[in-house]
Amino acid sequence: MRLVVEKYHGLGNDYLVYDPNKNKMKLNPANVQLMCNRNFGIGSDGILEGPVMEHDRIAMIVWNPDGSIAQKSGNGVRIFAKYLKDAGYVQKKDFTITSQGGESAIHYLNEEGTRLKASMGKATFWSDAVPVEGPRREIINETMVFGRIPYPVTCLSVGNPHCVILMDEISKDLVCRIGKYSESAKQFPEKINTQIIKVLDRTHIQTEVYERGAGYTLASGSGCCAAGAAAYRLGLTDPKMEVRMPGGALEVEIAEDGVVHMTGDVGYVGTIKLGTHFTQQLRTLK
């Protein structure tokens, strides 16, 4: 039986939705890598597997394009929420999606489900929660060396780990140069996502993102939330701001209890029915 996937994007960060209720193949690192390959496969920044029903909860698995599993994805959770509405799994405006990094409360802001608000959980800067090696401490504006260059680093978790670096000027080339060292640096036993940020004013920041397991991306929902939470903790912004990325902008708000919320759009690309030969090729991979 041929496989069918749905393709969506959140500000240019594109994902395939693989519904195990409609497809009879188990995903593994090898076939995920091939599906995500932009030359020999379909091409995407990752795969969202689900819905998986767990004790009346809707769960998804977030696969990175290198075949590893991500704890959480901000764009991914919005995309998955849009798919759940499109496929008829969800009719109500408010519900919760569970992933390895915790729960995200979803609120549809229009009938089509193309604009959503999602909670990403509480931001924590404690080293053991990120995690970061060394004595337990909050990682706020701490100097770390990547590729022999020192940087002022703020580390936090919003269900997945982030390293945020404040800079006067940011670019794709710069975040890629830093990210290739920081992602697997010895300080981060579970690797880390890297954001470089530029504060424009109290309600606007810019960020460039290098994701663990994926590399450079046009947009990252969890990265936006981490960037916003870090800028707010450093006293540089108000609790509600617009975070701009090359793929577009998200609204980020840090509530009084520390929970980070994001609001943004999702685009539906289409349904992809995989060819017989390609489907057979995927099934043989272990």
What is the band of 53 on the pLDDT scale with cuts at 50, 70, 90?
confident
Element holding 48 (H helix, E strand): strand 47-54
- Say if residue 221 carries a ligand binding annotation: yes
Is residue 212 part of an annotated ligand binding site? yes
- Can you list the domains of the chain with their CATH numbers? 4-114+267-284 (3.10.310.10), 122-263 (3.10.310.10)
What is the average pLDDT value for the chain, to the nearest integer?
Answer: 96
pLDDT at residue number 1: 82
pLDDT at 254: 97
Do the bridges between strand 259-265 and strand 248-254 make them parallel or antiparallel, or are there none, so unpaired? antiparallel
- 74 assigned to a ligand binding site: yes
Known binding residue 190? Answer is no
Q: Using CA atoms in the order 187, 190, 191, 195, what is the torsion angle rounded to 10 degrees? A: -90
pLDDT at 140: 98
Q: Is it the case that residue 54 has pLDDT exceeding 80?
A: no
pLDDT in tens, 199-236: 999 999 999 999 999 999 999 999 999 999 999 999 99
The SS3 call for residue 281 is helix
222 annotated among ligand-binding-site residues: yes
- 75 is annotated as contributing to ligand binding: yes
CA distances from 170 to 180, 187, 196, 207 (A): 16, 23, 7, 7
Per-residue pLDDT tens for 141-177? 999 999 999 999 999 999 999 999 999 999 999 999 9
Give just the sign of the alpha carbon dihedral 143, 146, 147, 152. negative
Q: Is the pLDDT of residue 55 over 90?
A: no
- Separation CA 82–CA 118 (nearest Å): 12
Confidence (pLDDT) at 5: 98
**Angle between the 276-284 and 29-36 helix axes, to the nearest 10 degrees?**
150
Q: What is the pLDDT of residue 115?
A: 97
Look at residue 56 in the predicted model and tell me its pLDDT. 79
Cα first-last separation, the chain = 18
Q: What percent of the chain has pLDDT above 70?
A: 100
> Residue 49 — very low, low, confident or very high, per pLDDT cuts 50/70/90?
very high
